[in-house]
Every structure is written in structure tokens, then in C-alpha cells.
């Protein structure tokens, strides 16, 4: 930019000198003509001669300044100001905000699938406003609490085992889902065959996944989503698996676990080095317990110390509170989102990422009745929802619009 400005200044000086030179020649010719015509009125000469001297002086000064500035690479104060303002204009270009929507556990069990097949499709199990919100988000994520497969062997002696036909993956697309976490205690309900089918099915439907893979390297690898020129790395891990065989290894498929947080902390640090934000979606806690375990709070802070900008939890099947640590939000559990007949309280979490890469949270209060998840619409129930969320949280305030504020 400075070079272009310098060239423009030099070109201006050259043009100015040319104009001055032409002016001098014209004046000199005029004076010669007047003298040869023996003009007796000396006043004209008295006027033109000082003018000619002034122009000559101006031309010399202009030439001196131009050459001096070129040699010394100094600019006049007004030129410096123009350049500084131009550079400031480039450097202060504001980044567009990024909008994420994140929901908790999704299970395509018999009840919601029957509702879906009743003839009204996706709007039978999810309200239109939630669908619109999820589909319009830059990134939309859920925890997938089952594998997509028709193969595999059901795990013995496990109380609940889940599975859905791969054709049902189209429902995720109708929900606007961009990425899922597979790091949970149901991904391998039907063994590694079903896990591999799930990964393939998601890929075929252009849905990213984290937290499980064909080996440890793929299971722990983040998915990176680029939005508005910024890279967001998303990691998934579980602290809940029924047997150690579910762990992904160097040579076998499985889940990326975080019973010992060391490996996940290393992945967060690595992801932070080459990305603008890091989001960690972790499966942990005790089912039906609305208060996080002490280890959840400890680990979440370790993840943030390592570079995580947002920590999201799942597994308890109920909502758990929100806490801020070093200005970074932790949402301990988002509960169930699409799961079964009735869910008393759930939420769709909006995350607005501003130009400073801060994650601002907004809660959309929801509930599920007869396998239909929808927003809560009455003012009284909305305020009850916010008051409840404040009670189970740590040092936060929720305003009337659902914005989560750190006290």
C-alpha cells in the first residue's frame, strides 16, 4: 500500500512540474511577444515578472521536495495520515459472528420413529421453529446415542442397547445436523461392525463425527469446521463406557475416552495451536443427577486451561448447570433432546461466537410431550425454566431472553 501511495505522490509531482513548466514557457513567450510589440504599459511586465519568478521558485521547491522525499522516503504529515487511515481501515475490519446450535442426547427409539412415520415426518417429532433454528445455524451439533446399522451382535448383559437402520440418518439431515458426537456408552451396543457402519452412514450423508473411529488416531482427531474465515475444532470424548474393550486403540475401532484426561488435554492443546476456537463435547456424570460430579468440574477446568473455549456435556439424561471458568462457559449436561415419550425439561443451546472469539450462550427452553419436542411458549413456564436453570448452576444469571450472563 505504501509503495502504491509513493508512486501516486511521485506521479502527482511529475504532472505538477509539467504544468508549471508549460506555464513558464507560456509566460516567457507572452513577455517576448509584448516586448517585440513595443508595449509601452510597463504594468503588465511588473505583474508578470514577479509571477514568473514565483513560479520558477515554486517549481524548484517542488522538485526539491519531491526528490528529497523520494530519497529519504519521508512523506508529508497529511500523506502519512492518509496511509495510516487506510491501514487502520484494513486492520479494523470486523469479523462476522458465528452461530452454533447444540442439543443433547438424540435417540431414534420406537416412539419418535412411529410419530415420524405417522405421516407428518420431522414436524411430528420436532417443532418447526426448532427445525428452522437448527438449520439456519452455521454449525448444528447433537450427541448421537445409538449406532446406524443392521449388522453386529447385541452386547450381552447390557440393560439398554440401541440401534437404528442407516436409512434413518436422513432424519438428522432434516434436523440440519452438521456434526455428531459418537463418544458415549451406546456407540458400540452392537459391536465394532455397527460402529463402522455408523461412520460410513454419516459420511455418506455429509455429517461429521467426533469421539469414535476406526482406530485411536481417528477417534481422538477433531473435526474442524471453517465458518466466516475462522476455524473451529470440535473434539468428542467419553468418561462412560461399560467395558474397557470399547476403548479405541492403535489397531482397533472404538471410543476416545477421558477417564484419564491427559490424552484429551494434549489433543486440546494441539488443536488450539492451529485453530481459532476449540469446543469439547464430553460424555460424563451420573444418570438422572442434575448436579455434576466433582470430577466433571475439575476436568472441565483442566480442558479450559489446555485451550478449550467451550465445554459441553451429555449422559445424565437431565439438565445440569452452567458455570464460567476464566470467562469460558461450561455446560455440564444438555439432557435428552429427542429420546422418548416425555422430557420434562430440555433445551436447544445457542452459542454466538463474537469477533473476539468469545462464546455467548442463549437457552431456548423446550420440553417433550408424546415424543414431540417443542419450545416452551408460556411466559410463566419460561420464567420457571430460567429460574430452575439458575438454581442448578454456578454464578450465572439468565435474562428474560435466555441469555446466560456471568455474575
pLDDT at 23: 53
Residuewise pLDDT in 10s, the chain (407 residues): 434 444 444 554 555 555 455 454 444 444 343 433 443 343 333 333 433 444 444 344 443 333 334 333 343 444 444 444 444 444 445 689 999 999 999 999 999 999 999 978 999 999 999 999 999 999 999 999 999 999 999 999 999 999 999 999 999 999 999 999 999 999 999 999 999 999 999 999 999 999 999 999 999 999 999 999 999 999 999 999 999 999 999 999 999 999 999 999 999 999 999 999 999 999 999 999 999 999 999 999 999 999 999 999 999 999 999 999 999 999 999 999 999 878 999 999 999 999 999 999 999 999 999 999 999 999 999 999 999 999 999 999 999 999 999 99
- The CB density around residue 111, as the number of other CB atoms within 10 Å, is 18
Q: Give helix 43-72 / helix 2-36 axis angle, nearest 10°.
A: 160
Q: Percentage of the chain with pLDDT > 90?
A: 75
pLDDT at 45: 35
The structure's pTM equals 0.78
Distance set, CA 190 to CA 150, 185, 255, 399 (Å): 9, 11, 13, 44
Written out in words, the top-level CATH class of the domain with range 98-406 is alpha beta
The DSSP symbol for 119 reads I
pLDDT at 3: 40
C-alpha dihedral, 68 to 69 to 70 to 73, nearest 10°: 130
The DSSP symbol for 116 reads I
Q: Give the whole-angstrom CA distance, residue 312 versus residue 319.
A: 11
Dump pLDDT digits (tens) for 189-228.
999 999 999 999 999 999 999 999 999 999 999 999 999 9
Yes or no: say if 222 and 210 are a contact pair by the CB < 8 Å rule.
Answer: yes
User: H or E element: which one contains 29?
Assistant: helix 2-36
Q: Give the whole-angstrom CA distance, residue 316 versus residue 293.
A: 11
pLDDT at 61: 42
| Cβ-based burial of 239 (10 A; exposed 0-12, middle 13-18, buried ≥19) | buried
pLDDT at 17: 53
pLDDT at 27: 41
Give Cβ neighbours of residue 80 (< 8 Å, ≥ 6 apart): none
* SS3 label, residue 105: strand
Name the residue ranges covered by the structural domains of the chain: 2-91, 98-406
Distance set, CA 183 to CA 218, 258, 314 (Å): 12, 10, 10
Yes or no: say if 80 and 1 are a contact pair by the CB < 8 Å rule.
Answer: no
Yes or no: say if 393 and 322 are a contact pair by the CB < 8 Å rule.
Answer: yes
Q: Give the whole-angstrom CA distance, residue 12 versus residue 39.
A: 38
Dump pLDDT digits (tens) for 101-112.
999 999 999 999
Amino acid at each position: 500500500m505504501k509503495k502504491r501511495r509513493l508512486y501516486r505522490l511521485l506521479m502527482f509531482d511529475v504532472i505538477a512540474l509539467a504544468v508549471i513548466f508549460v506555464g513558464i514557457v507560456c509566460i516567457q513567450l507572452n513577455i517576448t511577444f509584448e516586448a517585440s510589440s513595443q508595449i509601452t504599459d510597463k504594468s503588465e511586465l511588473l505583474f508578470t515578472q514577479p509571477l514568473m519568478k514565483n513560479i520558477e521558485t515554486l517549481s524548484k521547491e517542488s522538485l526539491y521536495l519531491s526528490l528529497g522525499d523520494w530519497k529519504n522516503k519521508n512523506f508529508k504529515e497529511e500523506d502519512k495520515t492518509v496511509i495510516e487511515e487506510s491501514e487502520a481501515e484494513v486492520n479494523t475490519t470486523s469479523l462476522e459472528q458465528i452461530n452454533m446450535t447444540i442439543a443433547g442426547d438424540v435417540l431414534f427409539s420406537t416412539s419418535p420413529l412411529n410419530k415420524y412415520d405417522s405421516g407428518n415426518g420431522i414436524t411430528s417429532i420436532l417443532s418447526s421453529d426448532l427445525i428452522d433454528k437448527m438449520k439456519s445455524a452455521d454449525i448444528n451439533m447433537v450427541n448421537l446415542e445409538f449406532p446406524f446399522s443392521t449388522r453386529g451382535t447385541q452386547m450381552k448383559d447390557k440393560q439398554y442397547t440401541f440401534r437404528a437402520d442407516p436409512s434413518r440418518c436422513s432424519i438428522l439431515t432434516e434436523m440440519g445436523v452438521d456434526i455428531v458426537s459418537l463418544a458415549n456408552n451406546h456407540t458400540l451396543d452392537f459391536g465394532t461392525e455397527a460402529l463402522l457402519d455408523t461412520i460410513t452412514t454419516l459420511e455418506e450423508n455429509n455429517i461429521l463425527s467426533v469421539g469414535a473411529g476406526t482406530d485411536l488416531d481417528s477417534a481422538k482427531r477433531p473435526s474442524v469446521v471453517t465458518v466466516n474465515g475462522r476455524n473451529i475444532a470440535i473434539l468428542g470424548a467419553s468418561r462412560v463406557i461399560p467395558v474397557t474393550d470399547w476403548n479405541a486403540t492403535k489397531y482397533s475401532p472404538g471410543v476416545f475416552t477421558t477417564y484419564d484426561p491427559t490424552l484429551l488435554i494434549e489433543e486440546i492443546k494441539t488443536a488450539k495451536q492451529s485453530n481459532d476456537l476449540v469446543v469439547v463435547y464430553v460424555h460424563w456424570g451420573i444418570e438422572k443427577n442434575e448436579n455434576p460430579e466433582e470430577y466433571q468440574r475439575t476436568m472441565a477446568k483442566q480442558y479450559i486451561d489446555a485451550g478449550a473455549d467451550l465445554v459441553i456435556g451429555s449422559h445424565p439424561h437431565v439438565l445440569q448447570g452452567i458455570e464460567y471458568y476464566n470467562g469460558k462457559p461450561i455446560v455440564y449436561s444438555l439432557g435428552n433432546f429427542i429420546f422418548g415419550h416425555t422430557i420434562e425439561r430440555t433445551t436447544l443451546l445457542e452459542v454466538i461466537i463474537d469477533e473476539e472469539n468469545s462464546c455467548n450462550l442463549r437457552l431456548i427452553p423446550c420440553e417433550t410431550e408424546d415424543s414431540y419436542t417443542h419450545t416452551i411458549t408460556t411466559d410463566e413456564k419460561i420464567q420457571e425454566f430460567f429460574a430452575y436453570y439458575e438454581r442448578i448452576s454456578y454464578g450465572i444469571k439468565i435474562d428474560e431472553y435466555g441469555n446466560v450472563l456471568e455474575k
